[in-house]
């Protein structure tokens, strides 16, 4: 059940049986020579939608722009400052909490979001503590789950991509986007080097200097829509279990 495709009456009815909501969060940033700029948001949205269907859960609006300052050396990348993203998450949770939602399951598609989203949760809890409890009496809880850390995602990255997964512009995430949008799949042939180097970075200029085509440790030329379907089919049941466990905790 998607919030933006529901009426307010349907949301009220949902709240009579559940206080949980899945919120996909990603990023709008470069993903190498053949990865879509919306990869992280697309992946989060795909997994969240399927979890919503399988778990009969409400799915909130996708947070499409995340903390991605280090990608600004590549055309089309967009970022929020950490403080801005914290404010966005706080306001979303406060808005939905006002209506009765109390369990916020952020389904994440971008590693660069983790620290900032976790900090936003700390701000939310601190505000509740300083107010000596929320006015509506709700016990708000938030969690973030990275889809690529699901056991089946890790297993399939090893089986399908044999050490060429890497950490950015990965064949796994690119495959999921090709499954979701096969008409947008790109064919660029073999990349040079075949597997990109690993390493750290600081700001956007440093990232572009170290990783000139945008990849980190990966070979996204291995990505296919068929692999994407395999990954989605395997990961969704694990995310459903994680969501249900979060509600029950």
Contacts of 222 (CB under 8 A, 6+ apart): 160, 161, 164, 171
Reference 90, options 122, 65, 58; nearest CA is 122
Dump pLDDT digits (tens) for 125-161. Answer: 998 888 765 555 568 999 999 999 999 999 999 999 9
Q: What is the pLDDT, as a whole number, of residue 115?
A: 98
Tokens in use for 31?
A: 């993903």
Residue 70 lies in a domain: yes
The model's pTM is 0.96
Q: What is the pLDDT, as a whole number, of residue 134?
A: 54
Domain span at 50: 3-240
Residue 142 lies in a domain: yes
Q: What is the pLDDT, as a whole number, of residue 18?
A: 98
Dump pLDDT digits (tens) for 100-132. Answer: 999 999 999 999 999 999 999 999 999 888 876
CATH label of the domain that carries residue 182 = 3.40.50.10310
| Chain Cα centroid distance, residue 181 | 17
As for how many domains the chain has, the answer is 1
Residue 246 lies in a domain: no
DSSP 121-162: HHHHHHHHHHTTS-TT----EEEEEEGGGSHHHHHHHHHHHT
Dump pLDDT digits (tens) for 160-217. Answer: 999 999 999 999 999 999 999 999 999 888 999 999 999 999 999 999 999 999 999 9
Contacts of 205 (CB under 8 A, 6+ apart): 73
Residue 248 lies in a domain: no
Dump pLDDT digits (tens) for 20-66. Answer: 999 999 999 999 999 999 999 999 999 999 999 999 999 999 999 99
Q: What is the pLDDT, as a whole number, of residue 130?
A: 83
Q: Is the CB of residue 36 less than 8 Å from the CB of residue 72?
A: no
Residue 247 lies in a domain: no
Q: What is the pLDDT, as a whole number, of residue 8?
A: 98
Peptide bond into 42 cis (omega under 30): no
Residue 204 lies in a domain: yes
Is pLDDT at 218 greater than 70 in this prediction?
Answer: yes
Residue 245 lies in a domain: no
Q: How far apart are CA 167 and CA 176, in angstroms?
A: 15
């Amino acid at each position: 059940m998607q919030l933006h495709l529901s009426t307010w009456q349907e949301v009220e009815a949902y709240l009579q049986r559940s206080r949980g909501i899945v919120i996909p969060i990603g990023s709008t940033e470069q993903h190498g020579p053949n990865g879509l700029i919306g990869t992280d948001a697309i992946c989060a949205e795909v997994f969240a939608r399927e979890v919503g269907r399988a778990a009969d859960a409400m799915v909130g609006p996708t947070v499409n722009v995340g903390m991605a300052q280090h990608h600004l050396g590549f055309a089309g990348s967009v970022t929020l400052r950490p403080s801005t993203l914290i404010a966005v998450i706080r306001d979303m949770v406060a808005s939905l909490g006002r209506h009765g939602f109390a369990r916020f399951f952020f389904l994440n598609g971008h590693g660069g979001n983790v620290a900032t989203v976790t900090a936003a949760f700390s701000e939310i809890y601190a505000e509740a503590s300083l107010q000596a409890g929320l006015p509506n009496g709700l016990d708000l809880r938030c969690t973030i789950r990275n889809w690529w850390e699901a056991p089946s995602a890790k297993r399939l990255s090893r089986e399908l991509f044999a050490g060429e997964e890497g950490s950015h512009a990965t064949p796994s995430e690119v495959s999921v986007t090709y499954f979701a949008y096969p008409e947008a799949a790109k064919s660029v042939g073999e990349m040079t080097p075949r597997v990109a180097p690993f390493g750290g970075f600081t700001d956007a200029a440093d990232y572009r200097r170290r990783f000139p085509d945008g990849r980190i440790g990966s070979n996204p030329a291995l990505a296919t829509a068929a692999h994407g379907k395999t990954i989605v089919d395997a990961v969704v049941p694990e995310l459903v279990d994680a969501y249900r466990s979060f509600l029950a905790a």
